[in-house]
Structure 1
Amino acid sequence: MVKADDIYFVYFFVCYALSIVPGALMFKRKYLPGLKKLGYFAKRGGR
């Protein structure tokens, strides 16, 4: 039989894993263009 603690662990772990997606989308939309303009993401190897 599954204990309640295991269910809570799985539930909160899934919520934590899914919370990364909105944060990454917000970072990409809000901060990535500014960092590219500043040259933070330099091209490597002369490509």
Structure 2
Amino acid sequence: MNCNPTIGLTRLNKVRKRAGAIAATATQFNLDYILDERAKELLEE
């Protein structure tokens, strides 16, 4: 699997924009950030 952080950040920010949240930056975007976002999504369901 090829990992491209730019694509991941773009996709994350699309979801955050739909939710009315502030866009993430490249310096924030790492595995911990992704897992934290996932946890937030699961709590809302």
Which range, TM-score by smaller chain?
0.3 to 0.5
Larger Cα-atom Rg: 1
The structure whose RCO (Cα within 8 Å, separation 6+) is larger is 2
Higher-helix-fraction structure: 1
Name the TM-score, length of structure 1 as normaliser. 0.33
